[in-house]
A and B are shown apart, each in its own frame.
Chain A
Amino acid sequence: MKITAEEVAHVAALARLRLSDQMSAKLTEQLNDILTAMDKLAQLDTSGVPSTNHALELTGAMRPDQARPGLDHQRALANAPDSDGQSFIVPKVI
């Protein structure tokens, strides 16, 4: 086993996912399959191959530092679950 049911539960909790026991068992199995497949790739000799952080060979897209007006206030709050016309309102966190 590459990954245990407890680890799957931990990662699910971090991602705020609520999993049924059945789903948890299924995902544990699938994740183990994926990690086993990665083992196969790990057999390749990659010494001398630079690591890839990104799929595209793109670099350098930047913009000049210029401010422009933001969204209209009401539009910005249009999707808020709750609002007082100024702020987004959420259940208390502290």
Chain B
Amino acid sequence: MEYEAVIGLEVHAQLLTESKIFCGCSTKFGAPPNTHVCPVCLGMPGVLPVLNQKVVEFTIRAGLATNCAIQPKSVWARKNYFYPDLSKNYQISQYELPICLDGWLDIEVEGENRRIGITRIHMEEDAGKLVHDPSQPVSYVDYNRTGVPLMEIVSEPDLRSPEEAGAYLRTLRDVLIYLEICDGNMEEGSFRCDANISLRPVGQAEFGIRAELKNMNSFRGVTKALEYEIRRQRAILDEGGKVVQETRLWDADQGKSFGMRGKEEAHDYRYLPDPDLPPLVVDEAWVERVRSELPELPGAKRARFMEAYGLNDYDAGVLTAGRPLADYYEAVVAAGAPPKAAANWMMTDLLGALKAEGREIGQAAVKPQGLAELIALIDSGAISNKMAKEVFAEMMATGKGAAKVVEEKGLTQVSDEGELEGLLKEIFAANPEEVEAFKGGKKKLMGFFVGQVMQKTKGQANPKLVNQLVNKLLGE
């Protein structure tokens, strides 16, 4: 039978705040265990949580960027479960009344646009980290991560394939990075994804029984885990079996997922409103201020780059992949570089060099002004394209300006018509046979004349100009 996959994603995004959501402990990654902790995040008796205003601000930003309705009043809830990664034995989250509802995100898959619904976005605190000792019957608990602010973004079951799920995740991640509220690092766990997936016969309206997939820590992992799950469920359904509703853990090394056993009761979280935290009220003025400060988002920027700079879809996509990169490009163009040349130089030479160095655009030794200067030197004929590559490499290595490198290397291209004409006349006089042959139609000898000029100028003649002069002098 033909089946259709129905997929919904839950994304946990770590917010880029300095301090935790309910206390002033640092959120910095990589500190020694249990050094960013205090009585609040350790769950000691008698303490009270105080909400970090920036967590709310960032979540409003995410909500507006994904077309959600920001709720004037939302409520904090306790999610109860016993596990040593929770110091209090409950996690503060939002349940019945989250801060953002009913949004959507447009994605593009194979050239087609799809609108994916966003059910809700809520705020919550992260749990601690457990390290298990394979040689001893103990686990080590580090509460540094406890209380680090998270946003949970829940999509509608609108996704129909692993490719769509991947496109949604990438689009969402790009938006959060543009908003400067999450670094989007899947490997480090600051952008994590769980998936709900079921199959149904094509044409059937109601959903099948779903499985929940966890532990996918890369975009590839998400796609692979969904593909595996589609095959697994199809095999069950084809044999007339029933899919069991369960949580499955993806194992990237084995390329398989495994059902988690004995966790049935763990899903009974007994949510209740948190009596320690009054309802969160967000007034209209706050929402409108955040709205007015929203940056241009990736999709809009890409469309504008195509429109304003005449770039094709691919180039615009590459150059708007990150806000710093897009800003760099616009600065190069603002400094006078033709848009197409600026795009070519950035996409081949600049990004290539940065990749080789393992650096980010912000760390490039060549600043936008410098790249524009280099492109201007090419356009004016002062240096050839080939020389420019050499100059650029030197600029990246030393941080020197284009003009300075050209001067130091003595690379200035000879574009003086009088000087080149003089040289050509000497060459013609020394090679009368070639001159006659050229005049007689052996145009291939052009390369010979240009080569002679290059030899005499140590490669610094403007080849285009030499071409024109040969044609002019030998009568065309």
Write the residues of chain A forming the contact surface with B, with a CB cutoff of 8 angstroms: 10, 13-14, 16, 53-56, 58-68, 70-71, 73, 76-77, 79, 82, 84, 86-94
Contacts and interface: CB of A to CB of B under 8 A. Distances in A.
A70 B142 CA distance: 14
Interface string B80-103: 101110000000000001000000
A52 to B, nearest CB: 9
A53 B280 contact: no
A55 to B, nearest CB: 8
B218 interface: no
A63 B50 CA distance: 7
B16 to A, nearest CB: 10
Given A67-B18, A87-B140, A59 B35 contact: no
B408 to A, nearest CB: 47
A87 B27 CA distance: 18
Contact of A65 (B17, B34, B141, B279): B17
A55 B279 CA distance: 10
Interface in B265-292: 265, 268, 270, 273, 275, 278-281
Given A14-B268, A61-B50, A79-B44, 11 more contacts: A14-B265, A53-B279, A54-B75, A62-B51, A65-B18, A67-B24, A86-B142, A87-B131, A89-B141, A92-B132, A93-B130
A3 to B, nearest CB: 14
B32 interface: yes
B449 interface: no
A63 B439 CA distance: 85
Grouping DSSP codes into helix (H, G, I), strand (E, B) and loop, the A interface class, with mixed when no group exceeds half, is: loop
Nearest to B25: A70
Nearest to B273: A53
Contacts of B137: 91-92
B469 interface: no
A59 B51 contact: no
Contact of A63 (B26, B44, B51): B51
A88 B278 contact: no
B54 interface: yes
Nearest to B272: A53
A81 to B, nearest CB: 10
A16 to B, nearest CB: 6
A92 B141 CA distance: 10
A84 B55 CA distance: 34
B54 A65 contact: yes
A53 B24 CA distance: 26
Contact of B140 (A16, A63, A68, A88): A88
B356 interface: no
A90 B37 contact: no
A71 B37 contact: yes
Nearest to A89: B138
Nearest to B280: A59
A6 to B, nearest CB: 13
B138 A91 contact: yes
A67 B19 contact: yes
A70 B82 CA distance: 25
B215 to A, nearest CB: 13
Nearest to B129: A87
A66 B19 contact: yes
Contacts of B55: 65
Contacts of B34: 73, 76-77, 86-88
Nearest to B130: A93
Nearest to A62: B53
Contacts of A54: 75, 273, 275, 278-279
Given A88-B143, A91-B138, A67 B26 contact: yes
B36 interface: yes
A56 B137 CA distance: 46
Which among B34, B141, B275, B278 has the greatest number of chain A C-beta atoms within 10 A? B34
A89 B141 CA distance: 6
6 contacts: A62-B51, A68-B19, A70-B36, A87-B131, A90-B139, A92-B136
A76 B32 CA distance: 13
B140 A64 contact: no
Nearest to B281: A59
B35 A70 contact: yes
Contact of B50 (A55, A62, A88, A91): A62
Contacts of A84: 140
Given A53-B279, A70-B37, A62 B52 contact: yes
